[in-house]
Amino acid sequence: MYRTHTCGELRLADASKKVTLAGWVQRVRKLGGMTFIDLRDRYGVTQLTVNEKTPENIRLAAEKLGREFVLQAEGVVVERASKNGKIPTGEVEISLLELRVLSAAEVPPFTIEDESDGGEELRAKYRYLDLRRNPVKNALILRHRVAQEARKYLDAQNFLEIETPFLIKSTPEGARDFVVPSRLHHGEFYALPQSPQTFKQLLMVAGYDRYFQIVRCFRDEDLRADRQPEFTQIDCEMAFVEREDILQTFGGMMQRLFRHVLGVEFDNIPRMTYADAMRDYGCDKPDVRFGMKIKELTPQVQGKGFAVFDSAAYVGGICAEGCAGYTRKQLDELTEWVKRPQIGAKGLAYIRLAEDGLKSSIDKFYAPEELQQVAATLGAKPGDLILILSGNEKQTLNALCELRLEMGARLGLRRRGEFAPLWVVDFPLLDWDDEAQRFYAMHHPFTSPQPDDLSLFMSGDREALKTVRADAYDFVMNGVELGGGSIRIFDAAIQQQMFKVLGFTPEDAGYKFGFLTNAFKFGAPPHGGIAFGFDRLCSMFGGSDSIRDYIAFPKNNAARDTMIDSPSHIDDTQLKELGIDIAGKSE
């Protein structure tokens, strides 16, 4: 046997056993005539000792060890003189009898410690060394746990795990496709799936009833912090269901995951309509761990001579409890904060409900009673601070959403360890793009309109279409969208109308999605599904904001893998084989 035990399992009860361990040298410490070697593997660290009684050849070998050497060590488990309460093996050490260097190691470019001295870039380049560190290892163990728990739940609910292909043709999730040139068919390309959407719907047509897959998806999107060009979803689909069945089944899955992975219980997952979420929180994924709802003030503050508000399509505010004491400097800083391009507000108006009366940046234009009325609308009380933004409705709501989250964070209301799940329902089916003068699918083109809105949808009237609600839902936790899905269209006429509304010609729709619409001619059951962002779910469980920490080999913010140096050029022969014009090759 290569090893009798791992580096994480020996205890005092094992004293006097002869054991063999294998692992990496974490650290070598010399103390008088003694040498202590911390040997590490995936399971933990065990101390090896070299003292006067250790055979001479081993003493000499121990002299030459460096960090990250790989050893096989044989010895006797003994009780430590000075115990280490911080690690489970801290009561024992191994008095060495044999030592074999299996692999020498160069000095690693950064310290393999919980707090490493290596910067992010360096660690990414040597990801295999970074993966040896406990925090990274624990993140991957957590990821494994979450995947297993999800599988257990879905298996118990009769879901079948079925793989779908990676070399396919365009899927309709709204991002760009990654494409793969075909060597056998020059000038033709596969696309990597943005999701298995069409295949899971075909599985429903095929009668598989309940499908899931923990699956890689590929989206060639513009760079944004914490986006990965390839990421993992728990992708699911069910036949013979209505929205309620989906919310029950996957609410149940979330309950189980939170219970088993974190020990967190929640019985009830509240629901909120998209319209309410936008009105009260300014976004479709509200963090409902705290209140501080947005209130619209438009009619109330207009017509009093303040041009900024008068010319705005929307004026709204939030009330930050207990913040009336904010200094001029703090308010200036907050004003700068809302003016940052990411937030995009033009300015910030405030009303302080101080002990000695109301103080406001807009009191030139408003009588104290008018400001009192605004305070009443926001439910503000003495000691509170009202923050007001104005402008275009969409942008202002978005800015208020960000401001609310920021104030929530500053006030300590976005508590770690507290979880507030939410189903957001009744999304609009379509998104009208004024510039392009066309509709886009808010979710994807297979999402069904709500039964009540079907006749509006079929009418094809532009204004009516803007109001049609989708049978779509998102699962939101603490302001993060963890999953989303919809009940699908399974009626050919409705699907055709959808393609028409989205501006596809019948030929175009046929070329892109004919395989699906054809399949629907052969007996399509009513169906619906959902997909959860698995990397994001893991980062939520791990209490981190970065999904990269939960991916073994992630790409950086520029969509590069610096360890293997990808993307990279390929040689001319390969290009030629693929029938790709080398003359046009970009440098």
Q: Which residues bind ligand ASP (CB under 6 A)?
A: 173, 195, 197, 484-486, 529-531
Distances from the Cα of 150 to the Cα of 153, 157, 162, 213, 260, angstroms: 5, 11, 15, 10, 10
Nearer to ligand ASP, 14 or 481 (CB): 481
d(CA 179, CA 177): 6
> DSSP letter at 566?
B
**Strand pairing category for 314-320 and 160-161:** unpaired
Smallest distance from the beta carbon of 439 to ligand ASP, in angstroms? 18
d(CA 479, CA 286): 5
Smallest distance from the beta carbon of 366 to ligand ASP, in angstroms? 46
Say if CB 68 and CB 24 are below 8 A apart.
yes
Say if CB 217 and CB 232 are below 8 A apart.
yes
Nearer to ligand ASP, 123 or 488 (CB): 488
Torsion of CA 61, 62, 64, 69, to 10 degrees: 100
Nearer to ligand ASP, 385 or 422 (CB): 422
Smallest distance from the beta carbon of 426 to ligand ASP, in angstroms? 16
Nearer to ligand ASP, 351 or 531 (CB): 531
Nearer to ligand ASP, 212 or 550 (CB): 212
d(CA 404, CA 282): 9
Instruction: Give the list of residues 6+ apart from residue 518 with CB closer than 8 angstroms, or none.
Output: none
Smallest distance from the beta carbon of 470 to ligand ASP, in angstroms? 11
Nearer to ligand ASP, 23 or 484 (CB): 484
Say if CB 290 and CB 408 are below 8 A apart.
yes
Nearer to ligand ASP, 282 or 485 (CB): 485
Smallest distance from the beta carbon of 550 to ligand ASP, in angstroms? 18
**Strand pairing category for 357-360 and 271-273:** unpaired
d(CA 376, CA 373): 5
Nearer to ligand ASP, 61 or 241 (CB): 241
Using left for φ > 0, alpha for ψ between -120 and 50, and beta otherwise, residue 112 falls in: beta
The token duo for 247 is 């919310």
Smallest distance from the beta carbon of 480 to ligand ASP, in angstroms? 15
Smallest distance from the beta carbon of 529 to ligand ASP, in angstroms? 4
Say if CB 405 and CB 283 are below 8 A apart.
no
**Strand pairing category for 18-31 and 70-79:** antiparallel
Smallest distance from the beta carbon of 171 to ligand ASP, in angstroms? 8
Instruction: Give the list of residues 6+ apart from residue 241 with CB closer than 8 angstroms, or none.
Output: 249, 487, 526, 527, 528
d(CA 306, CA 110): 59
Say if CB 413 and CB 237 are below 8 A apart.
no
User: In the beta sheet, which residues pair with residue 300?
Assistant: none
Smallest distance from the beta carbon of 483 to ligand ASP, in angstroms? 8
Nearer to ligand ASP, 485 or 554 (CB): 485
Q: In a 3-state reduction of DSSP, which class is residue 346?
A: coil
Nearer to ligand ASP, 286 or 484 (CB): 484
Smallest distance from the beta carbon of 235 to ligand ASP, in angstroms? 7
User: In the beta sheet, which residues pair with residue 176?
Assistant: 220
Smallest distance from the beta carbon of 287 to ligand ASP, in angstroms? 21
Smallest distance from the beta carbon of 531 to ligand ASP, in angstroms? 4
Instruction: Give the list of residues 6+ apart from residue 268 with CB closer than 8 angstroms, or none.
Output: none
Nearer to ligand ASP, 3 or 169 (CB): 169
Burial 478-511 (b: 16+ CB within 10 A, else e): bbebbbbbbbbbbeeeebebbbebbebeeeebee
Q: Within 10 Å of residue 139's Cβ, how many Cβ atoms?
A: 23
Smallest distance from the beta carbon of 124 to ligand ASP, in angstroms? 27
